[in-house]
Structure 1
Amino acid sequence: MASVRVWLGIFLFFLISGLALAAEVEILKDDAPKAGAWRLRAGLLVYDAATREYTASGGVELVQGDRRLSCEWAKVNEVTKVARLKGQVLIVLGEDRLSGQEGVFNLVTRCGEMHGARLFLKRNNFHVESVLIRKTGEQTFYAEEAVVTTCDAARPPWSFKTRKINVVVEGQARAQGTTLRLAGLPVLYTPFLSLPVLRQRQSGLLLPHMNFDRSSGLVLEFPVYWAINNHSDATFYQNYLSRRGYMQGFDLRYRGFKDAAGDLRLVYLKDGKADAPVPDRYWVTGMVNQPLTDRLQLRLSLDRVSDSDFYKTFNYGYLGLNTFNRDLLGEYGRMLEQQEVSTRLSTLLLSGNFPRVQLTAFGRAYQRLNVAEPFPFNQAPGVRLATLTTPLGKLPFMVGLESTYGYYFQNQGGRGHRLDFHPQVWFHSDLFSLLSMEARGGFRESIFLVDREDPAGRPVSSSSRELYDLKVSLASTWFRDFGREEGKTTFYRHYLRPEITYWNTPKYNPRLIPFFYPFDWGWVDRTSRNLPVREGEEPLGGVNMLTYGFSTSLLKRSETPQGQAEVRDLLWFRLLHGYFFNSTNMGIDGLPQHHHQFSEFLGEMEIYPYKRLILGSEVGLSPYAESFSRAKVKFVYFDRFRRQYLDVSYLFIKNYANQINVAAYLDLIPSLKTWVTFNHTFLYTKKLERQYGVILQRQCWGVAITITDRPDDTRVGVSLFVPSLMERTRRLPVNFPSEARFVKD
Structure 2
Amino acid sequence: MKKDRAHVFRWRLFVALLFGTLVLAGPLPAQSLLDGTESGAGFLGDGETPWTIQADRLTYDAKTRTYEAEGNVRIASGDRLITSEWAQVNLSERQATLQGNVRIRYGADWLTGQRVIWNLDTETGWVDGGTVYFSDNGFYLTGRNISKRGPSQYHVAQGVITTCDPASPDWSISCRDLDVKVNGMGWAKHSTLRLWKIPVFYTPFAYFPVNRDRQSGFLLPTFGSSNLHGTYYEQPYFWAFRPDMDLTFYANYLEKRGLLGGVEYQIHHNSLGRGAWLFHYLQDQADEQDLADHGYTYQGKERYWLRARHSLELPYGVEGYLDLDFVSDKNFLKEFQSGSAALESTNRTFRRVSRRELLNDETVTARESSLYLLKRGESAVASLDVHYWDQLNRALDETTLQQLPQLRASVVPSPMGSWPLYYSVDSSAVNYWRPEGDTGVRADFLPRLHAPLQVWPYLAVEPSAGLRATFYQVDWQDEDRSSFQSRWVPDFQLEASSRLERVYRFPSTAVQHVIRPEVLYTLVPDVDQDDLPSFDGVDRISKQHAIRYGFSSFWVVKKEVQPEEGEPYSTYREWARLKVSQAYLLDEDVTDPLIETKAGERFSDIDMEVDLTPGRYVTLSYDLLYSPHDQTPTLHDLSLGFRSDRDDALRLTYRYRQDTTIDELIASFHLKILPNLTFSSYYDYSFDKQEVFEQTYSLAYRHGCWGLRFGYREEAEEREVIFALMLVGLGEVGSTFSQEGGMSVEGGF
TM-score (norm 2): 0.82
Of 43, 54, 75, which residue of structure 2 is paired with 1:32?
43
**1:491 paired to 2:510:** yes
8 Å CA contact 1:212–1:715 kept in 2: the answer is no
How do residues 283-298 of structure 1 correspond to structure 2 at under 5 angstroms? 283-298=305-320
Q: Which residue of 2 aligns with 1:596?
A: 601
The structural deviation recorded for 1:289 is: 1.1
SS of the residue 1:468 aligns to: strand
SS of the residue 1:499 aligns to: strand
**What letter corresponds to residue 403 of structure 1 in structure 2?**
S
The structural deviation recorded for 1:603 is: 1.8
Change (3 A) 1:81 1:370: closer
Q: Hey, what's the Cα distance between the residues in 2 that align with 1:146 and 1:379?
A: 63
8 Å CA contact 1:110–1:138 kept in 2: the answer is yes
**1:263 paired to 2:263:** no
Q: Which residue of 2 aligns with 1:544?
A: 545
The structural deviation recorded for 1:548 is: 1.7
**What letter corresponds to residue 179 of structure 1 in structure 2?**
S
**What letter corresponds to residue 93 of structure 1 in structure 2?**
Y
How do residues 441-456 of structure 1 correspond to structure 2 at under 5 angstroms? 441-453=465-477
Q: Hey, what's the Cα distance between the residues in 2 that align with 1:19 and 1:515?
A: 101
The structural deviation recorded for 1:394 is: 3.0
8 Å CA contact 1:179–1:186 kept in 2: the answer is no
**What letter corresponds to residue 191 of structure 2 in structure 1?**
T
Of 73, 77, 85, which residue of structure 2 is paired with 1:60?
73
8 Å CA contact 1:660–1:680 kept in 2: the answer is yes
Q: Which residue of 2 aligns with 1:234?
A: 247
Q: Which residue of 2 aligns with 1:376?
A: 400
SS of the residue 2:25 aligns to: strand
Q: Which residue of 2 aligns with 1:534?
A: none
**What letter corresponds to residue 181 of structure 1 in structure 2?**
L
Of 460, 475, 478, which residue of structure 2 is paired with 1:436?
460
**1:649 paired to 2:653:** yes
8 Å CA contact 1:518–1:588 kept in 2: the answer is no
How do residues 236-315 of structure 1 correspond to structure 2 at under 5 angstroms? 236-241=249-254, 244-257=257-270, 260-273=273-286, 274-275=290-291, 276-277=296-297, 278=299, 279-315=301-337
Q: Mind listing any 5+ residue stretches in structure 1 that lack a counterpart?
A: 522-539, 730-745
Q: Which residue of 2 aligns with 1:737?
A: none
The structural deviation recorded for 1:224 is: 2.3
SS of the residue 1:294 aligns to: helix
SS of the residue 1:597 aligns to: coil
Q: Hey, what's the Cα distance between the residues in 1 that align with 2:62 and 2:485?
A: 108
Of 207, 217, 242, which residue of structure 2 is paired with 1:193?
207
8 Å CA contact 2:275–2:353 kept in 1: the answer is no
Q: Hey, what's the Cα distance between the residues in 1 that align with 2:597 and 2:608?
A: 26
Change (3 A) 1:611 1:453: farther
The structural deviation recorded for 1:23 is: 4.6
Q: Hey, what's the Cα distance between the residues in 2 that align with 1:44 and 1:69?
A: 16
Q: Which residue of 1 aligns with 2:612?
A: 607
Q: Hey, what's the Cα distance between the residues in 2 that align with 1:676 and 1:259?
A: 42
Change (3 A) 1:227 1:701: farther
**1:517 paired to 2:536:** yes
SS of the residue 1:596 aligns to: coil
Q: Hey, what's the Cα distance between the residues in 2 that align with 1:718 and 1:245?
A: 28
**What letter corresponds to residue 655 of structure 2 in structure 1?**
L
8 Å CA contact 1:214–1:713 kept in 2: the answer is no
The structural deviation recorded for 1:570 is: 0.8
Say which is worse superposed, 270-279 or 86-95, in terms of deviation.
Answer: 270-279
**1:576 paired to 2:598:** no
Change (3 A) 1:314 1:585: farther
The structural deviation recorded for 1:478 is: 0.4
Q: Hey, what's the Cα distance between the residues in 1 that align with 2:216 and 2:487?
A: 60
8 Å CA contact 2:413–2:424 kept in 1: the answer is yes
**What letter corresponds to residue 553 of structure 2 in structure 1?**
T
8 Å CA contact 1:471–1:504 kept in 2: the answer is yes
**What letter corresponds to residue 185 of structure 1 in structure 2?**
P
The structural deviation recorded for 1:20 is: 3.2
The CA RMSD over aligned residues, in Å, is 3.9
**1:143 paired to 2:156:** yes
Measured against aligned partners, the alpha-carbon deviations of 1:285-338 in whole angstroms (never above 9, x if no partner) come to 111111111322221111122333433443445553334334434543432124
How do residues 290-689 of structure 1 correspond to structure 2 at under 5 angstroms? 290-329=312-351, 331-339=353-361, 340-354=363-377, 356-370=379-393, 375-453=399-477, 463-483=485-505, 490-507=509-526, 512-518=531-537, 520-521=539-540, 540-559=541-560, 561=563, 563-583=568-588, 594-637=599-642, 646-656=650-660, 657-663=662-668, 671-673=676-678, 675-684=680-689, 688-689=693-694
**What letter corresponds to residue 635 of structure 2 in structure 1?**
R
Q: Hey, what's the Cα distance between the residues in 1 that align with 2:347 and 2:672?
A: 23
SS of the residue 1:385 aligns to: strand
Q: Mind listing any 5+ residue stretches in structure 2 that lack a counterpart?
A: 1-9, 35-40, 735-749
**What letter corresponds to residue 542 of structure 2 in structure 1?**
G
Q: Hey, what's the Cα distance between the residues in 2 that align with 1:593 and 1:172?
A: 66
8 Å CA contact 1:557–1:566 kept in 2: the answer is yes
Say which is worse superposed, 272-281 or 40-49, in terms of deviation.
Answer: 40-49
**What letter corresponds to residue 493 of structure 2 in structure 1?**
K
Of 208, 217, 237, which residue of structure 1 is paired with 2:221?
208
How do residues 145-224 of structure 1 correspond to structure 2 at under 5 angstroms? 145-169=158-182, 171-183=183-195, 184-185=198-199, 187-189=201-203, 191=205, 193=207, 195-196=209-210, 198-209=211-222, 215-216=228-229, 220-224=233-237
Of 710, 714, 722, which residue of structure 2 is paired with 1:709?
714
8 Å CA contact 2:43–2:91 kept in 1: the answer is no
Change (3 A) 1:495 1:214: farther
Q: Hey, what's the Cα distance between the residues in 1 that align with 2:671 and 2:232?
A: 28
SS of the residue 1:103 aligns to: strand
Q: Hey, what's the Cα distance between the residues in 2 that align with 1:108 and 1:653?
A: 73
SS of the residue 2:344 aligns to: helix
**What letter corresponds to residue 300 of structure 1 in structure 2?**
L
Say which is worse superposed, 626-635 or 370-379, in terms of deviation.
Answer: 370-379
Q: Which residue of 2 aligns with 1:723?
A: 728
Q: Which residue of 1 aligns with 2:739?
A: none
Q: Hey, what's the Cα distance between the residues in 2 that align with 1:670 and 1:258?
A: 45
Q: Hey, what's the Cα distance between the residues in 1 that align with 2:376 and 2:607?
A: 38
Measured against aligned partners, the alpha-carbon deviations of 1:429-449 in whole angstroms (never above 9, x if no partner) come to 111221111222211122344
Say which is worse superposed, 26-35 or 42-51, in terms of deviation.
Answer: 42-51
Measured against aligned partners, the alpha-carbon deviations of 1:514-544 in whole angstroms (never above 9, x if no partner) come to 33114545xxxxxxxxxxxxxxxxxx42322
8 Å CA contact 1:214–1:714 kept in 2: the answer is no
Q: Hey, what's the Cα distance between the residues in 2 that align with 1:696 and 1:70?
A: 39
The structural deviation recorded for 1:254 is: 0.9
The structural deviation recorded for 1:390 is: 3.3
Q: Which residue of 2 aligns with 1:134?
A: 147
Q: Hey, what's the Cα distance between the residues in 1 that align with 2:392 and 2:695?
A: 25
The structural deviation recorded for 1:218 is: 5.6
Measured against aligned partners, the alpha-carbon deviations of 1:208-228 in whole angstroms (never above 9, x if no partner) come to 345666644665443322222
Q: Hey, what's the Cα distance between the residues in 1 that align with 2:720 and 2:228?
A: 9
Change (3 A) 1:699 1:238: farther
Measured against aligned partners, the alpha-carbon deviations of 1:386-427 in whole angstroms (never above 9, x if no partner) come to 234332333332222222111212354442222222121112
Q: Hey, what's the Cα distance between the residues in 2 that align with 1:25 and 1:353?
A: 62
Change (3 A) 1:225 1:564: farther
Q: Hey, what's the Cα distance between the residues in 1 that align with 2:175 and 2:29?
A: 42
**1:103 paired to 2:122:** no
**What letter corresponds to residue 464 of structure 1 in structure 2?**
S
